[in-house]
């Protein structure tokens, strides 16, 4: 080592302290990967009382992940015991509980601690919790999730409704559904799963549909005991399945969505149309359920049994606009009153929040609110100029939707570790994406987004306030390549 190198290395932070915000899938991943890298000075701050993030919060009946389970799991922690191709939410939650125990992550979590402020002061990050306590570290990893702030419809008379109303992500398990008249607003992935799960239980089900959805058929076969023991005996078989699914989703879906002219999208459209036409027998209902936009323009909904459920005689699809709520139910524009005991808002999430409402203050007092006046953006979904040593997992403009966000987070964290390594090795003390790199990335992604299926004419949560799809508009292979190695030219290093 030359003298210059030795000085640089000495000035590096060999053992930096990490503040991880969120103990969901990506916070747990961060902790495991830091331990694996020999970096054990960290604390995870979690507002809830348990790990799991979205899987802790979403407990609605029928909740499952429509990304196959052998792919929707960490690459380093395969699970031979998945019960089904698409396992239910409680099983996924148990998986995260188990992994965090097995990797001794749970003892590093401060539960019930909501971080409200995060400020870069004198070269380090100070975080402040709602209870006033503080902590100081060198790096912040915002593992705060994407779909976590429920969006409620702004309906007149909400306070007049005398039944029980709650959001799909805040399921009230104290409310019995048996024999009751239940209304559901929304037809996204959550609503579709809820309909199938509760239709056999309720006396009447009213689905308030503002926009119909294309439904891709799936088969959710159970794994047999023989298959599970084979997975246990032969982990390579599980790894092969994972690889096969990953390749299939990349080539057959992720890389296809970004080209609205792709013939594969026509095949997806045909499969969805066939599903609708074969499964829905009543022509009036069929037309109510037929979207007038292209399949996969909105986040594609997958279901094995929604069409069967919604054709039950006591289920109804209501397409009239909702005028408001009254004492006994929902009034639609045609004057009809839909009497309800329970109303479920399956109305999605405020997707532009990310780590907010946490106040984030970067270099020289720059606030995140100021940085994001035009909407959330981050270089490669990871770093924001003037917010040094602050990195996001599943941040804005990353791959979202029908992907395994676990694979996305694994790739992102491997990239982040290389940024950390630049500090540890003494190349710099702090780094964040340069303004020019973010501008270039934003310009390129906005241009690319015009050619995606998401821009083909529909309303969806992928679109930002300007109607531009905010999701990763390049191939997934490009994402993998970008994440393989940071281009330090794109970073401001001090």
Contact residues: ligand NAP, CB under 6 A: 64-67, 147, 153, 168, 185-191, 193, 210-211, 299, 322, 346-349, 401, 459, 461
Task: Please state the closest distance from residue 140 (CB atom) to ligand NAP, in A.
Answer: 26
Q: Which is nearer to ligand NAP, 16 or 212 (CB)?
A: 212
Q: Which is nearer to ligand NAP, 291 or 486 (CB)?
A: 291
Backbone angles phi and psi of 143, in degrees to 5: -110, 55
Q: Using DSSP, state whether 53 is helix, strand or coil.
A: coil
Q: How far apart, in whole angstroms, are the C-alpha atoms of residue 464 and residue 468?
A: 5
Give the orientation angle of helix 235-249 with respect to helix 225-233, to 10 degrees.
Answer: 100
Q: What is the 8-class DSSP label of residue 207?
A: E
Q: Which is nearer to ligand NAP, 85 or 124 (CB)?
A: 85
Q: Which is nearer to ligand NAP, 14 or 459 (CB)?
A: 459
Task: Please state the closest distance from residue 245 (CB atom) to ligand NAP, in A.
Answer: 14
Q: Which is nearer to ligand NAP, 181 or 299 (CB)?
A: 299
Tokens representing 23? 């103990």
Give the closest residue to 182 by CA, choosing from 307, 42, 333, 315. Answer: 315
DSSP states of 232-267: HH-HHHHHHHHHHHHHHHIIIIIHHHT-TT-HHHHH
Task: Please state the closest distance from residue 400 (CB atom) to ligand NAP, in A.
Answer: 7
Q: Using DSSP, state whether 183 is helix, strand or coil.
A: strand
Q: Which is nearer to ligand NAP, 168 or 397 (CB)?
A: 168
Q: Which is nearer to ligand NAP, 78 or 188 (CB)?
A: 188
Cβ atoms of 210 and 199 closer than 8 Å: no
Q: Which is nearer to ligand NAP, 209 or 475 (CB)?
A: 209
Q: Using DSSP, state whether 408 is helix, strand or coil.
A: helix
Task: Please state the closest distance from residue 205 (CB atom) to ligand NAP, in A.
Answer: 16
Q: Which is nearer to ligand NAP, 137 or 401 (CB)?
A: 401
Task: Please state the closest distance from residue 208 (CB atom) to ligand NAP, in A.
Answer: 6
DSSP states of 323-379: EEEETTEEEETTS-EEE-SEEEE---B-TT-TTTTSEEE-GGG-BHHHHTTT----B
Task: Please state the closest distance from residue 298 (CB atom) to ligand NAP, in A.
Answer: 6
Q: Which residues contact 262 (CB under 8 A, 6 or more apart)?
A: 256, 453
Task: Please state the closest distance from residue 402 (CB atom) to ligand NAP, in A.
Answer: 7
CA 172 and chain centroid, separation = 22
Q: Which is nearer to ligand NAP, 24 or 401 (CB)?
A: 401
Q: How far apart, in whole angstroms, are the C-alpha atoms of residue 337 and residue 334?
A: 9
Cβ atoms of 413 and 139 closer than 8 Å: no
Give the closest residue to 74 by CA, choosing from 37, 42, 30. Answer: 30
Tokens representing 436? 């020019």
Q: Which is nearer to ligand NAP, 134 or 172 (CB)?
A: 172
The β-bridge partners of 326 are: 329
Task: Please state the closest distance from residue 379 (CB atom) to ligand NAP, in A.
Answer: 23
Task: Please state the closest distance from residue 108 (CB atom) to ligand NAP, in A.
Answer: 28
Rg (CA), the chain: 24
Q: Which residues contact 386 (CB under 8 A, 6 or more apart)?
A: 362, 363, 364, 366, 371, 432
Backbone angles phi and psi of 439, in degrees to 5: -60, -45
What's the number of CA atoms in the CB half-sphere (13 Å) around residue 101? 7
The residue number with the shortest CB distance to ligand NAP is: 188
Task: Please state the closest distance from residue 113 (CB atom) to ligand NAP, in A.
Answer: 26
Task: Please state the closest distance from residue 269 (CB atom) to ligand NAP, in A.
Answer: 18
Q: How far apart, in whole angstroms, are the C-alpha atoms of residue 160 and residue 7?
A: 69
Tokens representing 80? 């031979």
Task: Please state the closest distance from residue 278 (CB atom) to ligand NAP, in A.
Answer: 22
Q: Which is nearer to ligand NAP, 19 or 409 (CB)?
A: 409
Task: Please state the closest distance from residue 436 (CB atom) to ligand NAP, in A.
Answer: 32
Give the orientation angle of helix 25-36 with respect to helix 405-424, to 10 degrees.
Answer: 40
Q: Which is nearer to ligand NAP, 108 or 294 (CB)?
A: 294
């Amino acid at each position: 080592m030359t003298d210059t190198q030795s000085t640089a290395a000495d000035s590096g932070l060999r053992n930096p302290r990490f503040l991880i915000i969120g103990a969901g899938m990506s916070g747990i991943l961060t902790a495991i990967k830091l331990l694996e890298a020999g970096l054990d000075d960290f604390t995870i701050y979690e507002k809830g009382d348990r790990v799991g993030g979205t899987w802790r919060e979403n407990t609605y009946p029928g909740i499952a992940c429509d990304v196959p389970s052998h792919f929707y799991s960490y690459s380093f922690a395969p699970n031979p015991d998945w019960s089904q191709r698409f396992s239910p939410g409680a099983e996924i939650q148990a998986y995260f509980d188990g992994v965090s125990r097995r990797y001794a992550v749970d003892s590093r979590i401060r539960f019930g601690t909501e971080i409200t402020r995060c400020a870069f002061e004198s070269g380090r990050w100070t975080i402040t919790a709602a209870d006033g306590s503080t902590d100081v570290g060198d790096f912040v990893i915002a593992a705060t999730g994407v779909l976590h702030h429920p969006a409620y419809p702004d309906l007149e008379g909400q306070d007049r409704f005398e039944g029980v109303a709650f959001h799909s992500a805040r399921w009230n398990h104290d409310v019995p559904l048996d024999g009751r008249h239940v209304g559901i607003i929304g037809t996204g992935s959550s609503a579709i799963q809820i309909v199938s799960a509760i239709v056999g239980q309720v006396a009447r089900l009213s689905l308030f549909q503002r926009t119909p959805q294309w439904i891709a058929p799936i088969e959710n076969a159970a794994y047999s005991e023989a298959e599970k023991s084979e997975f246990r005996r032969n982990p390579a078989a599980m790894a092969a399945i994972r690889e096969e699914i990953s390749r299939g989703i990349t080539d057959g879906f992720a890389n296809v969505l970004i080209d609205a002219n792709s013939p594969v999208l026509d095949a997806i459209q045909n499969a969805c149309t066939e599903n609708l036409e074969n499964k829905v027998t009543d022509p009036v209902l069929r037309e109510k359920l037929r979207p007038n936009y292209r399949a996969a323009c909105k986040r594609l909904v997958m279901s094995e049994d929604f069409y069967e459920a919604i054709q039950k005689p006591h289920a109804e699809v209501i397409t009239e606009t909702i005028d408001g709520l009254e004492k006994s139910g929902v009034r639609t524009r045609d004057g009809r009153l839909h009497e309800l005991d329970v109303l479920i808002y399956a109305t999605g999430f405020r997707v532009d929040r990310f780590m907010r409402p946490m106040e984030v203050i970067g270099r020289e007092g720059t606030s995140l609110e100021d940085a994001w006046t035009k909407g959330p953006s981050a270089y490669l979904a990871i770093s924001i100029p003037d917010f040094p040593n602050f990195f996001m997992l599943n941040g804005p403009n990353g791959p979202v939707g029908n992907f395994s966000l676990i694979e996305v987070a694994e790739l992102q964290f491997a990239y982040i570790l290389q940024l950390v390594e630049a500090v540890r090795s003494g190349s710099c003390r702090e780094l964040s994406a340069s303004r020019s790199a973010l501008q270039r990335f934003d310009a390129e992604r906005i241009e690319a987004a015009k050619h995606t299926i998401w821009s083909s004419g529909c309303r969806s949560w992928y679109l930002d306030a300007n109607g531009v799809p905010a999701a990763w508009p390049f191939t997934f292979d490009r994402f993998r390549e970008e994440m393989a190695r940071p281009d330090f030219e794109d970073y401001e290093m001090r």
